[in-house]
Structure 1
Amino acid sequence: MPLVFFYPKNQVNAIPNGPKTISNVLSNSLSKILSYYYPWAGTLKDNATIECDDQGAEFLEVQINSSMDKVVNHPDSNVKDLTFPQGLPWANGVDRALIVAQLSHFDCGGIALSVCLSHKIGDGSSAHCFLRDWAALTRNSNTNPSPYFVEDSIVPSPIGPLVSPVIGSDTDKCVQKRFVFSSTKLSALKSSIGVQNVTSNEAANALIYKCAASSGTVVNSGSFKRSQLVQFLDIREITSPQLPPNSIGNLISIISSPIYEDKEELKLPNLVTDIKKSKNYLSARDNNVEENEFAIEMLDAYRSGEVTFYKRKCDHYFSSSVCKFPFSQDLDFGFGKPIRSSIAKGPINKFIHLMRTYDGGIEAFVNLNEQEMSVFEHDDQLLEFATPINEDFCNKEEQ
């Protein structure tokens, strides 16, 4: 799970001997927070088990010969990903520490702090807990974090070594483009759909999926490709009994839309209604642990040797959102809150990541193959509500 946070020059300079002090403070507090989040300081064995042996984390420092603005706003995601340890984002990470942090210094004086956390130990909510507590401990050494490690008590792990990842990264087969939905545009989008109580996540997911699936049809010479939207959801609040928000683990499931057979089905009111039905069904189920659709799908793929979701015989567009986690608000390490947060390119083609912007909007990271992206990024309906991050976007921010 590769996340990165950007802090401008004025915040760095507010600290005496800023760059050096920040480096020392962060590396010291990282070692302290790992005593609470000890599995992330361990070693991965057989790709399936964490040996809590206090192996520790990696803390790297690099100099990037560019200004921060040019990197964070660059339309090419590979440039933005210079802020991550090379080759590590979304990798299986069997030969690296389970947490690798990188402090990047820019020519302008700003910094970026990136963290790659092993997904074997926890999900996006777990990552938020760790980063929030690390920031709090850095600000105040008397802080006592209290993570609750669920381990195998809720979702049992498969027995025996896992020979290879069930979901392998194929980022070399796709490009990533980023689009920003301002809070104003999100409100307009929700109003245009005509369904009651549409959330920002539902509206953004429906529009992106519609435009992405439509681009696939164009590339396929106008022949509609059967597809569905698969979304990852946190199940902490819908287990019985509820799990506390500080629960650490992969406590997620999925909801799937119907498999759409015709382009006429890809209308926003229909898509949003289907998303709501799937969410309500998940919330109403008696047992979201034993009936966890994602865990069942993953274990079936591992046992059968088939690609995950292969049996559905259609294209899958996956969406994962961390919008409910206030990363920007919570990640003050003592030199102010980040002005921007981001995520690395990946992990697979036809994948959508949604992340909240500091001003209440949503930034979408969309992975598609090159042909489909060339159609998607020019979709009129998409561009009515979303602004692509390109040279024009950079110029507007500078003004």
Structure 2
Amino acid sequence: MTVEFKVKLVAKETIRPSSPTPDHEKNFKLSVFDQLTPILYTSVLLFYASNASTSSRHQSSRLKSSLSKVLAHFYPLAGRIRDNLYIDCDDSGAEFVEAKANCPLSHILDRPCPALLRKLLPINTESPEASTGRLMLIQVNTFGCGGLAIGVCLSHKIADATTLRTFIKGWSAAAFLGEVSAGIEIPPLDTASAQFPPLAELAATSPVVVLPKVRCRTRRYVFDPTEITPLAASEAVPEPTRIEAVVALVWRCVARASRKNDPGRQSLLSQAVNLRGRLPEPLPETTVGNFVGGFKVEIVPWAEESEIELKKLVSHMREAKREYFASYTPRLSGGGESCLAIVEAAAKFGMLINSGAVDFYNCSSWCGLGLYDAADFGWGRPAWVSLVGVEYKNSIVLVDARDGDMVEVWLTLSQADMDALDADGELLRFASLNPSVSGSSIP
């Protein structure tokens, strides 16, 4: 008989910075990038196998004390957003939840289920609290076998995936090595707003970009890029990246599924890119905030008998990326003109995604962030770093698998499109649908 998976909350605590935020840093300005970011939490789950030498009570104590230390360095995360203009760094703190799961860790890792994984997070990823409430929430889940899952939620209004990695690396360094600075060097936190200051006209207004929420299904697929990249190579792109190859294949398959339900639909892909190193004056990767842009690739309706080749898709993607970096990023030198360019790009993105005129696929890649190496709190690397999926239609998110070579794809589509994708022979040829992440060392 199958046992229902339950997570019981046993304690809740507010963790404040280990030292008070100085008065001159109490009002932390958002950047224009932050102002335009959709309202949701950037979330991740970190799973750890049982560690006989460290009790769950000791682990929890270490996580709380080190969280207090790291919050002194990331002090805006302990505050509250005001009017979409600034963060009141009042040291209100982060929420720290302790919970117990009624099963061994293998119950989750043998067959990961997005609906069950969400129970391990302290808040709904799509919660409006991301702009009105706590900016950071942590949930530490203890399993019957002694395994651990840490759910981390940071408001996307102040943290993109790169910032999430930077925070986790600092937190784990504080836990393992005793000092945040032992793990990372953090540039001044106001770097983003100094270069791209907030716009008063964006204060307390409706978001420019509202991601569509409909009845969707999220699935996890695992790909071996080495099987796909040779098929994506061409004279134009002789050495496609593993991300280009996997994204092109997934896009072709989901667009084909959509076409079965609505023939003649136009398909458009937006691929998110980290702008830190692409700005006219490049910024360190540890710069906190949102520095995400996105190049768009458009494909006209495909004829049933002449589907576009994988290598052609990759060529389109590479050219769109090249043109984006050549025409858009040079405008981001800082100041008012740059902010207007950012608002203009966001407005166009919002119009496209909400128009309903095209199938708009929003894709981002977390591959290469090094989350497995960043998250050692003193009891080893994670057994698995997991997303949970989102409720936004046509979302494609890539993340490194635990072996570092394979790529996990978290795909969210409408129910009808997901049903059509189930019969896609090409996807089934190259992808494993939700395989186990358990190893012999996972109880």
How high is the TM-score relative to the length of structure 1?
A: 0.89
Give the 3 Å change call, closer, same or farther, for CA 320–112 of structure 1 in structure 2. Answer: same
Aligned position for 1:226? 266
Q: Partners in 2 of 1:95 and 1:275 — Cα distance?
A: 37
User: Among residues 34, 45, 62, which one is paired with 1:4 in the alignment?
Assistant: 45
Q: Distance in 2 between matches of 1:383 and 1:398?
A: 26
1:127 aligns with 2:186: no
Contact 1:60–1:101 (8 Å) recurs in 2: yes
Q: Deviations over 1:86-110 (max 9, x none)?
A: 4x21323244310101001112221
Distance 1:382 1:369, change over 3 A: same
Is 1:324–2:368 an aligned residue pair? yes
Correspondence for 2:344: 296
Secondary structure at the aligned position of 2:298 is classed as coil
SS of equivalent residue, structure 2 residue 393: coil
- TM superposition shift of 1:311: 5.6
Q: Distance in 1 between the 2:60 and 2:353 partners?
A: 43
Deviation at 1:307, TM superposition (A): 5.1
- 1:32 partnered with 2:32: no
Against the structure 1 CA distance between its residues 337 and 204, is the aligned structure 2 distance closer, same or farther, given a 3 Å change threshold? Answer: same
Aligned to 1:91: 127
Q: Which residue of the partner structure matches residue 8 of structure 2?
A: none
Match among 256, 261, 271 for residue 214 of structure 1: 256
Q: Supply the distance in 1 between the matched residues of 2:214 and 2:425 (Cα, whole angstroms).
A: 27
The 2-side partners of 1:395 and 1:258 are apart by 35
Greater mean deviation of Cα atoms: 25-34 or 237-246:
237-246
Indicate if the aligned counterparts of 2:222 and 2:407 stay in contact, CA closer than 8 A: yes
8 A Cα contact 2:229 2:240, kept in partner = yes
CA contact (8 A) 1:74 1:80 kept: no
SS in structure 2 of the partner of residue 242 of structure 1: coil
User: For 1:46-84, what per-residue CA distance to the aligned partner results, in whole angstroms no more than 9, with x for missing partners?
Assistant: 244211111111110111112222224435310121111
Match of 1:139 among 163, 172, 176: 176
Amino acid at match of 1:33: V
Going from structure 1 to structure 2, the CA distance change for 1:143 and 1:291 (only over 3 Å counts) comes to: closer
Q: Following TM superposition, by how much is the alpha carbon of 1:169 offset from its aligned partner in structure 2, in angstroms?
A: 5.3
Q: How far apart are the structure 2 equivalents of 1:254 and 1:224?
A: 25
Residue 247 of structure 2 corresponds to which residue in structure 1? 205
Asked if 2 retains the 8 angstrom alpha-carbon contact of 1:99 and 1:117, the reply is: yes
Corresponding residue to 1:156 among 172, 197, 200: 197
More divergent stretch after superposition (284-293 vs 325-334): 284-293
SS of 1:53 mapped into structure 2: coil
1:376-391 matched pairs, under 5 angstroms: 376-389=421-434
Aligned to 1:363: 408
What number of residue pairs does the alignment pair up? 382
Q: CA deviation at 1:240?
A: 1.2
Q: What is the aligned partner in structure 1 of residue 230 from structure 2?
A: 191
- Residue in structure 1 matched with residue 316 of structure 2 by the alignment: 274
In structure 2, the residue matched to 1:374 is 419
Which range is displaced more, 59-68 or 308-317?
308-317
Q: Is the contact made by 2:47 and 2:385 (CA closer than 8 Å) also made in structure 1?
A: yes
How many Å separate the matches in 2 of 1:300 and 1:228?
A: 13
What secondary structure does 1:101 align onto? strand
Residue pair 1:73, 1:80 contacting (<8 A) in 2 also: no
Change (3 A) 1:344 1:147: same
SS at match of 2:228: helix
The Cα offsets for residues 13-67 of structure 1, whole Å up to 9 and x where unpaired, read as 232xx10000000011111101101111111112442111111111101111122
Q: 1:107 aligns with which of 137, 144, 159?
A: 144
**Following TM superposition, by how much is the alpha carbon of 1:337 offset from its aligned partner in structure 2, in angstroms?**
0.4
| Deviation sequence 1:244-266 (CA, Å, 0-9, x none) | 11111211111000242324453
Equivalent AA in structure 1 for residue 252 of structure 2:
K
Instruction: From the superposition, tell whether residues 317 and 266 of structure 1 become closer, same or farther in structure 2 (CA, over 3 Å).
Output: farther
Partners of 2:185 and 2:286 within 8 A in 1: yes
* Distance across 2 between alignment mates of 1:366 and 1:345: 7
Match of 2:427, SS state, is helix
Shift of 1:340: 0.6
In structure 2, C-alpha distance between the alignment counterparts of 1:124 and 1:396, rounded to whole Å: 25
Q: Distance in 1 between matches of 2:215 and 2:415?
A: 8
1:345 aligns with 2:415: no
The SS at the match of 1:225 is coil
Q: Please list every run of 5 or more consecutive structure 1 residues that lacks an aligned counterpart in the other structure.
A: none
Change (3 A) 1:170 1:279: closer
- Secondary structure of the corresponding residue to residue 50 of structure 1: strand
Instruction: Measure, in 2, the Cα distance between the counterparts of 1:368 and 1:293.
Output: 31
- Higher deviation after alignment, 266-275 or 153-162: 153-162
**Secondary structure of 1:287 counterpart:** helix
Tell whether the 8 Å contact from 1:328 to 1:358 is kept in structure 2 after alignment: yes
CA RMSD of aligned residues (A): 2.4
Q: CA deviation at 1:165?
A: 3.8
For residues 83 and 141 of structure 1, do their structure 2 counterparts lie closer, same or farther at Cα, with a shift above 3 Å needed?
A: same
CA distance in 1, matches of 2:299, 2:437: 41
Residues 1:378 and 1:370: Cα distance change in structure 2 (over 3 Å): same
Cα contact 2:393–2:413 (8 A) shared by 1: yes
